[in-house]
């Protein structure tokens, strides 16, 4: 790729106003997509009886958490195909595609008949919708993060990329607020019969807003000073085979990326999605108050992410990740001890707040490091495939695994031990990754 494609030149070509539009547009689009994808988790207590009424109470929970996890199986496939599409035809085009697919999944969930109406076909349709959403989410994170970091100055990549996980948290917060509002407003019978469909309808209706926002984003794949140079870069990108290049030349970076993500995806699933339902089911706390914990997780992540990004730009990615993971290892077990022995709403919110802060401090610099590992020609593909594999293999079924582990061991501490083991193992990836804070990421590296 010639010099006009370098990140230094790119920064001169993107105005401050365009960068502000990029942050706002990316935040809105990501938040809408992750509202669509994650709201399913907050509705699982209602969806289990609707689609698996013949199973036992434990069976309903296990089946619906497995259905939630199915959405993660398609993330590597979405990462490969949509990531490759983004590296050949542009980040913005890929983001438009992911938004349409996510809306389609929401639309299916909004109208799918219940098990009582069409039998076993009902859960099959739900699984199909989750597969579509998982495919879309697999391409979303890589394309949106790449778009952000490629238009940021080297000294600001942490700040810019922080808006990706920050907007995910905004989507989580909005999803939890929507379900919490419905639970407070509707009688239990109405919520069980039709109220659970409302968030999916909302998600479907937000797609046009996201499409409008993303249509006005700057493209970062073919930034160049002249129209002729832009056309040349577009032709070069379209002729590449990024997936083949990735698997042939960048397997080590791919493996390190997945290992780095292990702690991020498992802890996110347990803290943001599993702990509220754990508090309601195992500790007897009110469902509405447990949803408040998810609102808190999303709010903390959204507000704190940009500041963590700036900190990572200032002191480096690795120090922020290492210290946050060390503190998390020390905090997890005492937090669960407090929550299990004194199960109050106040203690739940304290525990969630502390763990959420530590989670954000490893997520933001971790997400920033991923695109820095790959050259521009395979950057979105590399990040998308790594994220898809990490989330699907480890994150997607984290709730299912922890539910099963609690049942098998009869220990409510199973989530705590799961997080501690994954944090320790995942940190080994940092030994093989070079910290490229402040460097031009389009310069070659052996890390």
Sorted by sequence, the CB contacts under 8 Å of residue 60 that are 6+ apart come out as 48, 49, 52, 53
User: Which DSSP symbol is given to 154?
Assistant: G
Q: Cβ(74)–Cβ(192) under 8 Å?
A: no
Q: Looking at the domain assignment, is residue 1 inside a domain?
A: no
Q: Cβ(423)–Cβ(263) under 8 Å?
A: yes
Kindly state the greatest CA–CA separation across the chain. 68
Q: Looking at the domain assignment, is residue 442 inside a domain?
A: no
Q: Looking at the domain assignment, is residue 435 inside a domain?
A: no
User: Which DSSP symbol is given to 113?
Assistant: P
Predicted local confidence at residue 330, as pLDDT = 96
Q: Would you tell me how many other CB atoms lie within 10 Å of the CB of residue 127?
A: 16
Q: Would you tell me how many other CB atoms lie within 10 Å of the CB of residue 311?
A: 19
Q: What is the pTM of this model?
A: 0.79
DSSP code string of 299-352: HHHHHHHHHHHHHHHHH-HHHHHHHHHHHHHHHHHHHHHHHHHS--HHHHHHHH
DSSP code string of 155-219: GGHHHHHHHHHHHHHHHHHHHHHHHHHHHHHS-HHHHHHTGGGHHHHHHHHTHHHHHHHHHTSPP
Phi, psi dihedral angles at 202 (to 5 degrees): -60, -45
In 3D, which of 10, 80, 438 has the Cα closest to residue 220? 10
Q: Looking at the domain assignment, is residue 438 inside a domain?
A: no
How many domains is the chain built from? Answer: 1
Query: What are the C-alpha distances in Å from 328 to residues 109, 262, 333, 334, 427?
Result: 36, 14, 9, 10, 12
Q: Looking at the domain assignment, is residue 443 inside a domain?
A: no
Predicted local confidence at residue 93, as pLDDT = 79
Sorted by sequence, the CB contacts under 8 Å of residue 240 that are 6+ apart come out as 87, 88, 377
How many whole angstroms from its chain centre is CA 280?
24
Predicted local confidence at residue 424, as pLDDT = 94
Q: Cβ(57)–Cβ(85) under 8 Å?
A: no
Q: CATH no. for residue 240?
A: 1.20.1250.20
Phi, psi dihedral angles at 401 (to 5 degrees): -65, -45
Q: Cβ(230)–Cβ(382) under 8 Å?
A: no
Helices (H) and strands (E) in the chain — how many of each?
A: 22, 0
Q: Cβ(29)–Cβ(95) under 8 Å?
A: yes
Q: Looking at the domain assignment, is residue 248 inside a domain?
A: yes
Predicted local confidence at residue 300, as pLDDT = 94
pLDDT in tens, the chain (447 residues): 444 344 444 444 455 666 677 777 777 777 877 887 778 878 887 888 888 888 777 777 778 877 877 777 788 888 888 878 777 777 777 878 888 888 899 899 999 999 889 998 998 999 999 999 888 887 777 777 887 888 888 888 999 999 989 988 998 888 888 888 888 888 988 988 899 999 999 888 888 887 777 776 665 554 444 445 444 444 444 446 677 888 888 889 999 999 999 999 899 888 887 887 777 777 777 766 767 888 888 899 999 999 999 999 999 999 999 999 999 999 999 999 998 888 888 888 899 999 999 999 999 999 999 888 888 888 888 888 888 888 877 776 777 788 788 888 888 888 899 999 999 999 999 999 999 998 888 765 544
* Token duo for residue 41: 């988790």
User: Which DSSP symbol is given to 273?
Assistant: I
Measured CA to CA, the distance from residue 102 to residue 250 in angstroms comes to 29
Predicted local confidence at residue 230, as pLDDT = 44
Measured CA to CA, the distance from residue 212 to residue 25 in angstroms comes to 9
Measured CA to CA, the distance from residue 176 to residue 63 in angstroms comes to 21
* Token duo for residue 346: 């106040």
Mapped onto helix, strand or coil, the DSSP state of residue 100 is helix
Predicted local confidence at residue 325, as pLDDT = 96
Predicted local confidence at residue 310, as pLDDT = 95
Q: Looking at the domain assignment, is residue 205 inside a domain?
A: yes
Q: Looking at the domain assignment, is residue 437 inside a domain?
A: no
Q: Would you tell me how many other CB atoms lie within 10 Å of the CB of residue 444?
A: 5
- Per-residue pLDDT reduced to its tens digit, 349-392: 899 999 999 999 999 999 999 888 888 888 888 888 888 888 87
* Token duo for residue 218: 């700057």
Domain extent for 397: 8-430
* Token duo for residue 53: 């009424």
């Amino acid at each position: 790729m010639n010099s006009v494609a370098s990140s230094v030149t790119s920064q001169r070509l993107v105005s401050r106003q365009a960068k502000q539009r990029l942050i706002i547009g990316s935040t809105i689009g990501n938040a809408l997509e992750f509202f669509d994808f994650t709201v399913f988790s907050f509705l699982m207590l209602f969806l289990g009886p609707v689609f698996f009424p013949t199973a036992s109470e434990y069976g309903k929970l296990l089946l619906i958490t497995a259905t939630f996890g199915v959405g993660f199986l398609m993330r590597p496939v979405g990462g490969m195909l949509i990531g490759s599409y983004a590296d050949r035809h542009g980040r913005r085009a890929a983001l438009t595609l992911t938004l349409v697919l996510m809306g389609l999944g929401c639309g299916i969930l909004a109208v799918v008949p219940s098990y009582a109406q069409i039998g076993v076909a009902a859960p099959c349709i739900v699984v199909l919708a989750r597969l579509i959403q998982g495919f879309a989410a697999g391409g979303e994170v890589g394309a949106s993060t790449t778009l952000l970091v490629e238009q940021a100055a080297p000294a600001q990549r942490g700040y810019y990329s922080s808006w990706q996980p920050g907007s995910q948290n905004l989507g989580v917060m909005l999803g939890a607020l929507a379900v919490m509002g419905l639970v407070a407003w509707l009688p239990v019978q109405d919520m069980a019969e039709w109220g659970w469909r409302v968030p999916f309808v909302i998600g479907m209706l937000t797609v046009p807003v996201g499409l409008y926002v993303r249509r006005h984003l700057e493209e970062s794949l073919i930034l160049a000073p002249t129209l002729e140079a832009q056309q040349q870069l577009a032709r070069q990108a379209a002729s590449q085979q990024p997936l083949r290049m990735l698997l042939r030349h960048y397997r080590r970076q791919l493996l390190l990326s997945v290992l780095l993500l292990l702690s991020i995806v498992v802890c996110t699933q347990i803290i943001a999605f599993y702990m509220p339902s754990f508090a309601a089911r195992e500790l007897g706390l009110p469902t509405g108050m447990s949803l408040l914990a998810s609102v808190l997780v999303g709010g903390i992540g959204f507000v704190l992410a940009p500041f963590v990004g700036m900190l990572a730009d200032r002191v480096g990615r690795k120090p922020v990740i290492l210290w946050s993971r060390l503190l998390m290892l020390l905090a997890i077990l005492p937090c669960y001890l407090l929550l299990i022995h004194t199960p109050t709403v106040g203690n739940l919110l304290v525990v969630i707040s502390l763990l959420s802060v530590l989670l954000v401090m490893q997520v933001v610099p971790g997400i920033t490091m991923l695109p820095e590992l790959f050259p521009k020609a395979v950057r979105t593909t590399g990040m998308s495939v790594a994220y898809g594999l990490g989330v699907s293999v480890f994150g997607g079924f984290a709730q299912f695994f922890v539910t099963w582990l609690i049942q098998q061991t009869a220990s409510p501490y199973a989530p705590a031990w799961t997080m501690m083991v994954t944090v320790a193992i995942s940190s080994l990836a940092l030994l093989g990754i070079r910290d490229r804070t402040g460097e031009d990421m389009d310069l070659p590296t052996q890390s």
